[in-house]
Structure 1
Amino acid sequence: MVSRRAFLAGSGAVTVGGLGMVPGFTTAAEAAVSSTSGSPARLLPVFNRPRHLDYADVSKLSGGDQTLLTTLQGVVNRTEPELYFIYDTGTESVPDAKWLSEMRLPTKLYKNPLDLVAKYRSRVRGAIVHDPAVPDSLNVATTLAGLEGAVVADAEQARAHGLKIVKDLRGMFDDDRVKTYRWQLDNLFPRVTHQLLAGLPPTRVVDVEGVVWQEIARETQQIRDSSNRGTYTLDVSAKLGKEAVYVKFADSFTDDGWGASVRTVSVKANGTEIASFEPDTPEEAPYLFDGSHSSIGGEANRFADGGNYWIYRFEPPAGTTSLVVTVEMWNQYLVSITDTSPTRIEPFAYFRDYVVATKALVSWLPPGGATGELLIEHFAKYPTPAPYLGWFANDVSGEWDGVDLASKGGSPVVAADFYMNGTVHAGLTTPISDKVRPVRRIDSPKNKVYVTLTFGEGDNIQYCQRRLREIWDDPKRGEAPTNWTISPLLAEAGPNIYSYFQRTATGNDLLVCGPSGGGYTYPSSWKPAELTEYLKMTGSFMRRTGLDLVYAYSGRQDNTWVLLSKEIAEGYAAYTPTKGIMQTWDGEPLAVRQGGLPITGGWGAPGKAVEFKAALDRRIANWDGASPMFVSGLIGAWSWTPSDMAELAPLLTDPYELVLGNTFYDLLNRVL
């Protein structure tokens, strides 16, 4: 499962409301052509190359101060990237610091990041003041900041930093999200770039330091079949005494994806029921303190896998001495309690530099109901294939529904909500090779089980920037043949990032195009003519980045992933250089020829090396050994590392042979 994403050429200028000369934007047609003679048409905006960077560690700042600085970064870096921020711990072991070091640019560290506001204050018109009482006003403020050359701030920040208030959004909106974003679309769309649109949450949940959780229930076996489904009584009285009790549901085995699942909840204080609800209902809402890291299942159950969780808050009547929570629950649950508010809500700062610099319109519209209808209107206003950068609300269901709506609207999705310093990375013109990796050809296929294994998530450019860099630096990388999905759009969004992975790949590392080409999408949901545009764009990016395999989705029917149609496969064959397609679909066989291309289902298994190998043994149990068998496996990018691959590879002895994807599909093209 996929999780989950410069503008200026420096020529020309316009006058903006007394600010002076601010570089002007290219037209859509001009932006589609690189300033380098003979280079291919561009999808994403152009940034100038940075020459010197002022940088600071902002990891300890509040979300509000991060937002102030990130939007300042967007205005300043629009002309030429000059500001860079480290969002993690500020050590050399984290990606932000590593990428900065490898840029080999002159830099200056600012120990107090907010000193940069004073230094660059003359470069902005002032502040767009958002309304803390209306979280979505932060996104409207971000759109306006890009248009007005301003920063986003609250009223106190504006006063503290001596920022003129350009526009005050306090009192303009209420909690009607549709009305807020309708106003933005009606009033700001004519002024924003039509080259891309963005989706970012206005707020984030931040853990409060020092909170102590007491474990009260844990499933100690790796149960994935709901066989332990039952009614569980959870006595949470130990945390009575303060205002409320917080109950967290998480996954007791974080590596395999079958975490706590809950269908009903009731709460009794001193024997009297004070709450009774089912997940994803209005009755649940008053008690769901933090549900942003959980999902809703097919039974309307709430679940959380891996490192995810959700938290209920129960405030018992005064004098309560017994508080009992009863839940219908199953799978690998881990339940813990505390009497201290464990999180707080802050503005979501990430990726706003890119949004401001490109003068993009940013919204946050869950893809169902009235908000989904408005999201459809957004997609309809943008030309194909203008991408949607950011992400969607409602976790997995939001992903599936949101990507489907974007596909129907002709917009590929670029997961970029945590893509930091995008304005700097997009300006670095690091060389990228267009040469395809030579195939280690197996001239005479044997009656073996040929296995190729692929890390997913590569369509997600913030994953490429962060998690992929972390696991790529594992010293065990290169010990086992491994395919790595990656976004070819990094050729424009982060050439230095793509170049790094390309340059440092070992002979056992193969980069392949992430789903489903030039941006995450479901090809079966596209209009045929618009899909052709998308596939042509995908082919252009794959050729630029030396990729000749693609991991793809098709679409879902009745909650089931389906095989790419013959017509869509023919489109990939006609317009892209792919030699085969790794695909997620729920069916048999594991390998077919469709539209002239070999297509393989993305088989997967829970657990790490030993359990994965056991599942693979079961998968091939009916193989007769009379001809080659082919298994394309998908590896969990958030739970596995190259060290896990190095542990698995020696287990794949006869009849298995572990090969890179290009060898795998070369064989398939000859025997299928």
Structure 2
Amino acid sequence: MVSRRTFLAGSGAVTAGGIGLVPTLTTTAAAASSTSGSPARLLPAFNRPKHLHYGDASKLSGHDQTLLTTLQGIVNRTKPELYFLYDTGTQSTPDAKWLTDMHLPTTLYKNPLDLVAKYRHRVRGAIVYDPAVPDSLNVATTLAGLEDCVVADADQAKAHGLRIVKDLRGKFDDDRVKTYRWQLDNLFPRVTHKLLAGLPPTRVVAVENVQWKEIARETRQIRDSSNRGNFDLDVSAKLGKGKVYVRWQDSFGDDGWGPSVSEVWVKANGVEIAHFKPNTPEEAQYLFDGANSSIGGDANRFCDGGGYYIYAFDPPAGTTSLVVTVTMWNQYLVSTTDTAPTRIEPFAYFRDYVVATKAMVSWLPPGGATGALLTEHFAKWPTLAPYMGWFANDVSGEWDGVDLASKGGSPVIAADFYMNGTVHAGFTAPISEKVRPVRRITKPKNKVYLTLTFGEGDNIQYCQRHMRDLWDDPKRGEAPANWTISPMLLETGPGLFSHFQRTATANDLLVCGPSGAGYTYPGSWVPAEFTQFLKLTGSQLRRTGMDQVYSYSHRENDKWVVLSEEIARGFAKYTPLKGIMQTWDGDLLAVRQGGLPIAGQWGAPGKAGEYKTALDAQVAKWDGTKPLFISGGINAWNWTPSDIAELASLLDDRYELVLANAFFDLMGRVLP
């Protein structure tokens, strides 16, 4: 799964009324019922919005966005009234599209900060965070929900006439464990136990008009480390203003094999001034921005796609020659500048939902002492209480964090960039329970049956943003494609789910994202608790008409393993699933476990032509005496429906491209 750093169509009517959010955030009777007799909802419920005051917050600083999103949380807790645009404010962006498609009366505020004065009477004042201690912003957010306050710095509180209810300046130091230990010990009895949130306290913001000079580029698509070597990068052209910044990017952003670096030396006028390896204390003083990169198995720092990492070096005065030597490989693009390219600001997103639900929010990397404290959080919250937000340390943090959450009985809902969640959770729209009919292949041939699936659908912010962009591709529907989507949108964004369901073509099939009612690793759960997860998943699937799932399993010796017979039997018993596509590291996988057909999710780098070449290489191993089943994963961050259509046009007579329901229907009949 790619790291996640990274709206409603105009034709449908909406249901009348909504689900009420009572002040204590208990589940209402209306929330506890459904036409399928499902259990009470998992998350707190919100009223349906009737009129929205909105503004374009995309150009505001993170400080002002945080002020507005926490105000939004207090106001929208009773009834959603505030909505903000976080893209560009034009009618072509997801935030604007969803707003238009809700067909609600709206009032535009050209300066969204004017809404602070309009709604100041609805808040008790401000919780002031300490800019010197970034994690204090998360503590301030938790307190804001409990005290009916906004989060602000001291200058904002003064400028907007907000009474300071609690001042966190000087209360905490840089000891993250100690900060969140105080929060857990002192605030746990007061926060909601329906969910737990994880949000970064800060974000990296690009500075505009920075001029980068390219100094090295790999022009070949190399993915096997065959170009590994020591490279001398002369950055002397950027001397003279102080620090020199060097950035690594992927020279081919669509295939996942970006630049790796395992060691760095820096010489100023021939004298070594720096020497370090990634992920060490020595690297920390030079790593200016590593948030969009990861640490690999060779103790290397790497990034893929649109990711990057930046080192900053401060040469001595009078330096005329500055050379950076790196051990580097794969698809690198290296550039340099003498201008600080980014700045740090508060991370504002999803805080409306956290404040409105009175949730506790922290930011605890899943390893070491912070990981132990995160584990303690999971132990204190009830089984099935979701962890909403994301994890620190990018891909490695994802795997370790989801594993800890799974062991603790908490499904993960990737939501750190889910904007206006308090509005989307309250806006109701019709969702059909009807299962899509199967185009049954009555006379199977000895062909390659291929199904293609866009990943990332467990990620509700992807469903809200990037999936909407992909969905609006004019070539969607030209070729069969499966779209993973989160059934948790039943509670966090029913209007979003309704839009995708109602506007799907005959060649679009919604399938459940990993691994059911939230992102999780089934093999890491306590079995009795996993049964509860399966029952919840079954309820959600029946309410949304989905009967295929893309599921993770768990890792052993750094490899994904086949879902066990016991886990597969659980899926078969408690859910309506007809088939499972699962994470897989090897070649092709098509087996029956627990009575269900399971296909390993196979993938290939590059776009249509390269993908087809890799498919042909797999097919060359096939003896042609019986049908071959290939479940193909599609990188949602790099592919579009246009790419799917191009790939479909390249398939010869050996292939038949089908939707997942036909794929698993046939696979279930053919497999022994």
TM-score norm. by structure 2 comes to: 0.97
1:117 is the counterpart of 2:116: yes
Post-superposition Cα deviations, 1:213-270, rounded to whole Å, max 9, x if no partner, equal 1000000000000000000000000000011000000100000000000000000000
- The Cα of 1:43 is off from its aligned counterpart by 1.1
What is the CA distance between 1:624 and its match in structure 2?
A: 1.1
Q: Write the letter of the residue equivalent to 1:586.
A: D
Q: Which residue of 2 aligns with 1:507?
A: 506
Tell me the equivalent position of 1:98.
Answer: 97
- One-letter amino acid of the counterpart of residue 196, structure 1: L
Q: Where in structure 2 are the equivalents of 1:50-199 lying within 5 Å?
A: 50-199=49-198
User: Does the 8 Å contact 2:207/2:343 carry over to 1?
Assistant: yes
State how far apart, in whole Å, the 1-side matches of 2:563 and 2:505 are.
Answer: 32
Could you list the runs of 5+ residues in structure 1 that have no partner in the other structure? Answer: 13-22
- Secondary structure of 2:482's counterpart equals strand
Residue in 2 aligned with 1:436?
435
1:589 shift after superposition: 4.7
1:3–1:457 contact (8 Å) kept in structure 2: no
Shift of 1:31: 9.5
> One-letter code of the match for 2:541?
M
Instruction: Find the counterpart in structure 2 of residue 447 from structure 1.
Output: 446
The match for 1:16 is none
Asked whether the equivalents of residues 31 and 45 of structure 1 are also in contact (C-alpha less than 8 Å), the reply is no
User: 1:378 corresponds to which residue?
Assistant: 377
8 Å Cα contact 1:451-1:632 kept in structure 2: yes
User: What amino acid is the match of 1:159?
Assistant: K
Q: Which letter maps to 1:363? A: S
Aligned-residue offset at 1:150: 0.2
* Structure 1 residue aligned with 2:389: 390
| Partner residue, 2:3 | 3
Query: What's the CA shift for 1:654?
Result: 1.1
Distance in 1 between the 2:189 and 2:657 partners? 54
1:602-656: CA deviations, max 9, x gaps?
Answer: 0000111111000000011111111100000000000000010111101112101
Residue 587 of structure 1 and its aligned partner are, at CA, apart by 3.4
Tell me the residue number matched to 2:270. Answer: 271
Aligned positions of 1:204-603 closer than 5 A: 204-587=203-586, 589-603=588-602
Partners of 1:36 and 1:99 in 2: CA distance: 26
For residue 9 of structure 1, report the CA deviation from its aligned partner.
5.6
Distance 1:137 1:30, change over 3 A: farther
SS, match of residue 138 in structure 1: helix
Alpha-carbon separation, structure 1, partners of 2:304 and 2:171: 39
Provide, for residues 269-305 of structure 1, a one-character-per-residue CA deviation record: whole Å limited to 9, x for no partner: 0000000000000000000000000000001100000
Matches of 1:609 and 1:585, distance apart in 2: 21
Partners of 2:259 and 2:331 within 8 A in 1: yes
User: Do the aligned residues in 2 keep the contact of 1:9 with 1:35 (CA within 8 Å)?
Assistant: no
Greater Cα shift, 80-89 or 617-626: 617-626
What residue is the counterpart of 1:657 in the other structure?
Answer: 656
SS at match of 1:284: helix
Contact 1:592 1:598 in 2 (8 A): yes
- 1:637 and 1:509 map into 2 onto residues whose CA distance is 15
Amino acid at match of 1:232: F
Q: Which amino acid aligns with 1:25?
A: L
In the alignment, is residue 25 of structure 1 matched against residue 31 of structure 2? no
C-alpha deviation, 1:586, in angstroms = 2.1
| 1:346 aligned counterpart, secondary structure | strand
State how far apart, in whole Å, the 2-side matches of 1:443 and 1:35 are: 36
Distance 2:238 2:363 in 1: 36
What SS does the aligned partner of 1:510 have? Answer: strand
Tell me: CA distance 1:579–1:237, structure 2 relative to 1, closer, same or farther (3 Å).
Answer: same
Q: Distance in 1 between matches of 2:631 and 2:617?
A: 15
Give the distance between the partners of 1:564 and 1:289, measured in 2 at CA.
Answer: 41
CA-CA distance at 1:30 after TM superposition: 6.8
Which amino acid is 1:263 matched to? S
Checking the alignment, whether the CA contact within 8 Å between 1:130 and 1:137 is kept in structure 2 is yes
Tell me, in whole angstroms, the C-alpha distance in 2 between the residues paired with 1:551 and 1:9. Answer: 30
Runs (5+) with no aligned partner, structure 2: 6-17
Distance 2:433 2:534 in 1: 18
The SS at the match of 2:165 is strand
**SS of match in other structure, 1:41:** coil
Asked whether the 8 Å contact 2:21–2:47 carries over to 1, the reply is no
d(CA) in 2 for partners of 1:383, 1:64: 33
Partner of 2:9: none
Contact 2:26–2:44 (CA under 8 A) maintained in structure 1: no
Shift of 1:107: 0.1
Paired residues in the alignment total 659
SS of 2:311 mapped into structure 1: strand
Instruction: State the alpha-carbon separation in 2 of the partners of residues 579 and 35 from structure 1.
Output: 23
What amino acid is the match of 2:278? P
Q: How many angstroms apart in 2 are the aligned matches of 1:326 and 1:561?
A: 36
> Structure 1's 336 and 299: CA in aligned 2 closer, same or farther, altered over 3 A?
same
Q: What is residue 604 of structure 1 aligned with on the other side?
A: 603
Query: Residue 569 of structure 1: SS of its match in structure 2?
Result: helix
- Answer whether contact 1:605 1:615 (CA < 8 A) is retained: yes
Percent identical residues: 78
In structure 2, do the counterparts of structure 1 residues 36 and 446 end up closer, same or farther at CA, with 3 Å as the change threshold? Answer: closer
In the TM superposition, residue 26 of structure 1 has moved relative to its aligned partner by: 1.3
Helix, strand or coil: the match of 1:172? coil
Supply the distance in 1 between the matched residues of 2:282 and 2:575 (Cα, whole angstroms): 50
Name the CA distance, whole Å, in 2 between partners of 1:93 and 1:49.
Answer: 25
Partner Cα distance (2:223, 2:330) in 1: 6
Cα distance, 1:10 vs. partner? 4.2
Q: Name the structure 1 match of 2:631.
A: 632
What is the RMSD of the two structures over their aligned residues, measured on CA atoms? 1.4
C-alpha distance in 2, partners of 1:88/1:462?
13
- Which digits, 9 at most, give the CA deviation of each residue in 1:99-138, with x for residues without a partner? 0000000000000010000000000000000000000000
User: Shift of residue 24 of structure 1?
Assistant: 2.9
Tell me how far apart the structure 1 counterparts of residues 106 and 170 of structure 2 sit (CA, whole Å).
41
In 1, distance between residues paired with 2:20 and 2:625? 63
Query: What is the CA–CA distance in structure 2 between the aligned matches of 1:172 and 1:421, rounded to whole Å?
Result: 31
Amino acid at match of 1:24: T
Contact conserved, 2:588 with 2:602, CA < 8 A, in 1?
no
The 3 A distance-change label for structure 1 pair 37 and 645 is closer
Q: Is the 8 A contact 2:213 2:335 kept in 1?
A: yes
- The alignment partner of 1:134 has SS state of coil
